[in-house]
Every structure is written in structure tokens, then in C-alpha cells.
A = this chain, B = another copy of it.
């Protein structure tokens, strides 16, 4: 109980570090169910902060929350051909209910398109019913063979938005509005710079017309998807017969979007920002932004901490006072570093007498002397500086690890060594994409939204190519 919690060094063994830091900081734990994890209160508070932020943004767009059943009849999944092919290897299937064998097996939802759109067909009759903008906060199950805390688990939490629109363009505009919300969320809240663009035909969501994706580069040089927004075209509308009468009384199919952000992004921020001492949480998402560690524990010092903390709480800063008697100051420093609290506030007896205190930055270790009268503004300023520093650090890393490449030899060499992004011409033939994946484990990540047409040749087959794509190995 009183020993310091040891973790592997990120710089030496990043895989073990990742698991150690999640378990020891109590973000999550393994469960007795294969591939399913327990999200502990410290991890769940991060998820609640994510929920609060995104839920507000969605509602500002007119999106409403709802709930649909966790079970999907197998026949529903089969109605959209690409969709069932994509998801059927990953299904958990309920065959018995109330002691009896079911006449039709039910899948536990891997995603809710099919169960929702059958009902959308009933709800949508006229152009006046459009757009229909719904979102669900729920749990989904995808039976993964190899699992990894937060990043790939058989069950995870997410939000899934599902909209229906009158035209292709309306749906596209909406999918891009969501993409914009996700971009600001990833960059300004999670302090994680993202590349934003379209997925290739092979990499898009099963059943989508266009998949927009946000990708972040992790310190090990592998990319991770930080959210997706799909333009579903009229694929599901046709499969589920979702039609409306337009203003001229003509029957039309609707155009749809679906979009999701998951607990997986918590894995990404752990990996992106942490160091050998443990987590470093971006202030905008941290459950505790500043922790008070009194150097001497007595009533006077605690009262002083209390007074200052109330001041900070008033301006919306999330604080905690560590008043445990049984733990040493050294143990507490170590513990709160492990938990990644952005600012540690140290207060000794002498400092108190002089109305002083010390703010210690988790990201740089820098100690900043402050005074009682300035603590609010100093804390606010430092939180912003830490948030910005984490973002800039990751952005610098990404830029340094983005390689514009024209030879396949170079492509292979980079993927075999430092990894990172490769930015290269690709002819858009799935055969080249598959070969590259087979030989380098790198997949196409995205075609940037603002990509310009150029004249080039495919990095693999040397045939003419019009656009450069980002490639990377990915989680």
C-alpha cells in the first residue's frame, strides 16, 4: 500500500508502460470477461468530460439524444451487403432468452445503423420530417481477437450520431460540420493534432459512400483514428426504403450520415502525452487540474489550502487537496505525477506565512513561485500554457515524422525503422494499396480534405497518379 507504484519506462518499453500506467493510475482495469475492460472512476471522469463537451456541441447543431435497443435481429444486419460483410466476423450473438432458444438469433449491436434505419423508414414521410438528427450514447460490442486497454476492446463506450437529409449535399454539409466539431475537440480539448481527410474505398466504413476521418500520430510512429464521420449516401436508404415526399409531391430516398467518437481516444491521449513518470493529462480534459500537496500537514496549512482552493473552484478550476496523513509528501508527488495532474500546488509552513506557494508543471517540471493574490491568474495561465505545450509538442513530433516520399525503397525503409506518416502519390488502385500493406504493414490513412490535383506517379506501380495520400501503420 505504501510503496511507490513502479511502472515500466515509456522510453524503454512503451507497450508495458502503456498497460502499467493505465492500471496503476487507476484509469481502467481488466475484467473477468475476455476482451472487456472496467473503466474505473478516474477514467470515467475523463469520459464524462468528453461527453459534456461533445453533447453540448451536438445539441447546438439541433441534434437530439435517443435510445435504441442493444439487440439487432441478424436479418437486419444482412440488408446492407457491405455492412454485414464488415461486421459479421465480429458479432456477439444471443441465441437464448428467458430459458428458450430464440427463433431468430440477435446480435449485440456493433453499431446501430440497421436497427435505427428500419424505424427511420417509418418516421420519415415528408420533407418536413427532415433533417432527422439523432445521437445515442451507448455501449457497443465487437468481438476482437487481440485486445488492448482502451484502444481495442470487445466492448466500448461511444456516441453514434445518425442523420437523414433531403439531398446529397445537405448530408455532406452535415458530415463535415461534425468533422469540424471533432477536429476542434481533438486539437483544442485533447491537445492532439489531427490530419483530416477522406478514407480510401478499402478503408471506409462498411456501407458508407464517403468516410471522413481524423488521424493522430502516436510517439511510436503509428497512426490512430480519432473519430469518423460517414456520408452514407443513399446506400442504407435504399436497403431500408427510407423515402420522403418532396415539396413537389415526388418520392425521394433520403441521404444519411453517421459519426462516432469513442473511449478509444482516451487511449490515444495516454499514449500521446505521457512520459516515464506516468500520465500527462491535457488540462481541458483532466478530472483534476490542480492538486494541493501541503508540505507540512497541520490544520493551519490545510485551512490555507482550503481557502485558496475555493478561490480556484470559483473560477471553474477542478482542484483536489491531498490531506492524507498516512502518505509521505514524496509518495504524493509520485502518485499525482503518475496520475498526470497538470499542476501540483506545493504549500509549506514558511510559504504560507509569506502568502506564497509553488506551482509545479507536470509537462516540464518547471517550478513557478506564486502568491496568494496571484494564484488564480497564475494557475489559469499555466493551465493554458500546458494545454498549448502538449499540442505543440505533438505537432512538432508529427511534422518531424511526416516523410514526403517518391521512391518505394525509401517508403519501405522508413516503415521498417522510424515509421511515422508517409506522404506519397498513389494511383488509387486497391491492388497497390493491398501490396503496400502486405509488404510494409502501412495502410492509406487519408486523402487530405484540401488536397490539390497534381501530376505524379504512384509510389508503388509508377502509373500516373493525381493525388498524394498519407500512409502509416495504424492501431
Q: Identify the A interface with B (CB < 8 A).
A: 1, 29, 31-33, 36-41, 44-45, 47-48, 64-73, 76, 88-99, 105-106, 108, 115, 118-119, 125-126, 128, 134, 138-139, 141, 143-145, 154-155, 157, 326
Determine which of B47, B99, B108, B119 lies in contact with A31 in the assembled complex, contact meaning CB atoms within 8 Å.
B119
CA distance A98 to B72 in the complex (A): 16
Determine which of B41, B93, B157 lies in contact with A64 in the assembled complex, contact meaning CB atoms within 8 Å.
B41
Count of identical protomers in the assembly: 2
Output the residue of A36, A45, A118 with the most chain B CB within 10 A: A36
- The reply to whether B70 and A29 contact each other, CB–CB distance below 8 Å, is no
Closest 3 CB pairs of A and B: A98-B143, A41-B64, A36-B69
Q: Sample 30 A-B pairs with CB under 8 A, ordered by A number.
A: A1-B125, A29-B119, A31-B115, A32-B73, A32-B76, A33-B106, A36-B71, A37-B69, A38-B68, A38-B69, A41-B65, A41-B66, A41-B134, A45-B65, A70-B108, A70-B141, A88-B99, A90-B98, A91-B97, A91-B98, A92-B94, A92-B97, A92-B98, A93-B94, A93-B95, A93-B97, A94-B108, A98-B144, A108-B108, A138-B139
CA distance A128 to B125 in the complex (A): 60
Question: Which residues of chain B come closer than 8 Å to A125, judged between CB atoms?
Answer: 1
Output the residue of A47, A94, A326 with the most chain B CB within 10 A: A94
The secondary-structure label for the interface of chain A is: mixed
- The reply to whether B96 and A67 contact each other, CB–CB distance below 8 Å, is no
CA distance A134 to B44 in the complex (A): 11
CA distance A115 to B36 in the complex (A): 11
Question: Which residues of chain B come closer than 8 Å to A38, judged between CB atoms?
Answer: 66-69, 119
- The reply to whether B97 and A95 contact each other, CB–CB distance below 8 Å, is no
- Give A119 Cβ to nearest chain B Cβ, in Å: 6
CA distance A66 to B263 in the complex (A): 13
Determine which of B32, B37, B64, B93 lies in contact with A115 in the assembled complex, contact meaning CB atoms within 8 Å.
B32
Question: Which residues of chain B come closer than 8 Å to A154, judged between CB atoms?
Answer: 97
- The reply to whether A65 and B44 contact each other, CB–CB distance below 8 Å, is yes
Given A70-B139, A119-B31, CB of A95 within 8 Å of CB of B96: yes
- The reply to whether A71 and B155 contact each other, CB–CB distance below 8 Å, is yes
- The reply to whether B145 and A73 contact each other, CB–CB distance below 8 Å, is no
- The reply to whether B95 and A67 contact each other, CB–CB distance below 8 Å, is no
Given A95-B93, A98-B91, CB of A33 within 8 Å of CB of B126: no
Question: Which residues of chain B come closer than 8 Å to A91, judged between CB atoms?
Answer: 96-99
CA distance A95 to B108 in the complex (A): 11
Given A108-B108, A143-B98, A326-B128, CB of A31 within 8 Å of CB of B90: no
